[in-house]
Amino acid sequence: MFKDPIALAWMLPALLALGLLAALGSRRRAGLTSLFGDPRTLSRLLPPERGPRRSLKSLLQAASLALLFIALAGPQWGVEMVATQAKTHQAFLAVDTSLSMNAEDVKPTRLEKAKRELSLLLEELRGNRVGVIAFAGEAAVVCPLTMDVEAARQILRSLEPGMVPVPGTAIGKAVRLSARSLQRYPGAKSLVLLTDGEDHRSDPLGAAEEAAAMGLKIFAIGLGTPEGEPIPVRDSSGSLTGYKKGPQGATVISRLGEGTLAAMAQRTGGAYFRSTPQENEALEIAERILRGEKAQAVASRAARFRNRFQWPLALGFLILLLELLIPETGRKAPSGKASKVPAALAGLILLLAAPLYAATAEGALRRGNRLYRKGDFAQALESYAEAGRRRPKDPRPLFNAGDALYRLDRYDQAGQAFGAAAESSKGKKSLRADSHYNLGNSRFQSGDYREAVAHYREALRLDPKDPDARHNLAVALRMLKTPPQPSQRPQEKQKEKPQERKGQGGSGERPSQPPQPKPRPQDQLSREDAERILRAVAEKERLSPRQVRKESRKPENEEDW
């Protein structure tokens, strides 16, 4: 397959023109030779031209020209995934699906009104990353952050009361879930709450304070009226069978809890709106979200064919160099004097070989390391990606790419790169250990301490003498037991020196020490404390299941609407 096949149509005329020029040149040489005298006499005075050599040189020139046209046509084979980066906002839309959303003080019901508001918000936020959370007594992400508005709308249409199996209303859990999901992303983060504000169990104000510490703004839309409305109960056919009764048998009146929602919005720097028939509040919230700071994100992924023009282009240059090395005559350099032709050809070979080497995987890898040492991590990442495309089975470009992504604070993508490096470096134990170590660092930065512990342990299994992995494991275990506030979470040391195998004869380039790493977890913990924690964890893991106490559970509130 060719990107521009029209270039192949010009190849035949170009070859014909080359043949015509060669024929005209041969006739002109013969004519000029006859002007000097009898060709038989001249042949005794001068070395004759070698006909077979000239024919071979002409064929090599024609082959080189054909390969150049093939490269110009852009041959393509193989498929690669290409990610498009874009600046975007991140926002979660959390909708209350508890039984109280069946109340009809907002027509047709509170939940149907919330769906209309959400649909308008999704349209206004098109081109940004938006997710949907459904909550009742628990909260769940029903649509992860995505730029696919139509997919989010399809999920939105499926929302209905009772879809979350735990009854009740837990606004605080929805806030905490959205804050945890958004904390890994830079830039402004927003949560739009659509609820009647009745919360019986989850400390929504405390959750709002935690969200504010993470930089999350809450925009709340209150659904309902302060006077309230009974909650209708319907059968499977939709017929009204009565109204929701409380624990004492009295009819439940569900009222709009505006005070709680307004206080939550105020504590996070957001805003509270009561739902209106015109739904202007959705437009106002979308405008405020779009005024926030954008962050870099993957906008889309697409499969495309890989360009392979380098192969015919390189082969064409090599054939052209070979043609230059073939002399037209049998003349030799006078004795005692070295010919300047071989030296000139050697210089030409080196001049043309330099860009060819730069196009190889090793050249791209070293170029990425040079950019890394200069602190240009984005450009270094491109060079590592190029090296990975040229040598897909080599784990070094993956490892170095993960390193550059880590430096750019793109921890999820860095973890994917380190994970791929660990998988593809089966025979390289040290590189596998470093990959799991850095994968643990990436998970630590994302707040996933359980995964960080698993990868630190794997790094220690592969390299039991690694002191950094041992200390980071201890810190991750401590964080897993008592998670810190996000603003207080320490960062760990990363093994940031790019891995590059030496070339033949030890002539390969080793990168110098990169800039100083970020503060590491073990800086917050002494070695003695780390060893003590590890011994305590090991002792706990030896306990039998009967010796481990079960965690006590608090009784749930009886209110289930």
Measured distance CA(532)–CA(522) in Å, rounded = 13
Are both 351 and 369 inside the same structural domain? no
491 and 411 together in one domain? yes
Same domain, 281 and 381: no
Beta-carbon contacts of residue 548 (< 8 Å; ≥ 6 apart): none
For the chain, the domain total comes to: 3
Is 216 in a helix, a strand, or coil?
strand
Is position 237 within any domain? Answer: no
CB 442 within 8 A of CB 412: yes
Question: Is 433 domain-assigned?
Answer: yes
* Residue-by-residue pLDDT tens, the chain, 561 positions: 787 888 888 888 888 888 888 888 777 877 776 776 666 666 665 555 555 777 788 888 888 888 888 988 888 877 766 555 567 788 999 999 988 888 888 888 999 999 999 899 999 988 888 999 999 888 999 988 888 888 888 888 888 887 888 888 889 999 999 998 888 787 788 999 999 888 767 789 999 999 998 889 999 999 988 888 888 888 877 788 888 887 777 888 888 888 889 999 999 999 999 988 888 899 999 999 988 776 555 445 556 677 888 888 889 889 988 888 877 665 544 444 444 445 445 555 555 554 454 457 777 888 888 888 888 888 888 888 888 888 888 888 888 988 888 888 888 888 888 888 888 776 678 888 888 899 889 888 888 888 888 888 888 888 888 888 888 888 888 887 776 554 444 444 444 444 443 333 333 333 333 333 333 333 344 555 555 555 555 555 444 333 333 333 333 445 666
* Cβ(402)–Cβ(417) below 8 Å: yes
Domain region containing 192: 85-232+252-299
505 belongs to a structural domain: no
Residue 203: which CATH number? 3.40.50.410
In a domain? residue 555: no
Is there a single domain that holds both residue 403 and residue 534?
yes
Q: Are 464 and 495 in contact (CB under 8 A)?
A: no
Q: How far apart are CA 155 and CA 152, in angstroms?
A: 5
Residue 559, pLDDT score: 63
Beta bridge partners of 94: 133, 193
Question: 117 with 54, same domain?
Answer: no
Please count the CA atoms within 13 angstroms of the CA of 240 that sit on its side-chain side. 9
SS3 annotation, 505-530: HHCCCCCCCCCCCCCCHHHHCCHHHH
Q: Is residue 257 included in any domain, yes or no? A: yes
Is residue 241 assigned to a domain? no
Same domain for 389 and 473, yes or no, is yes
Contact 388, 397 (CB under 8 A): yes
| Shared domain check, 116 and 52 | no
- Are residues 221 and 320 both part of a single domain? no
> Is residue 238 a part of any domain in this protein?
no
> Domain holding 370: CATH number?
1.25.40.10
Sheet containing strand 129-135, strands side by side: 139-146, 129-135, 90-96, 189-195, 216-222, 271-274
At 455, give phi and psi (nearest 5°): -75, -35
Residue 16: alpha-carbon gap to chain centroid: 50
154 CB contacts (<8 Å, ≥6 apart)? Answer: none
C-alpha pair distances (Å), 355 with each of 94, 366, 397, 500:
55, 14, 20, 20
Are 130 and 258 in a shared domain?
Answer: yes
**Whether residue 223 sits in one domain with residue 98:** yes
- Whether residue 561 is contained in a domain is answered as no
Q: Same domain for 463 and 323?
A: no
369 and 397 share one domain: yes
Q: d(Cα 391, Cα 394) in Å, to the nearest integer?
A: 6
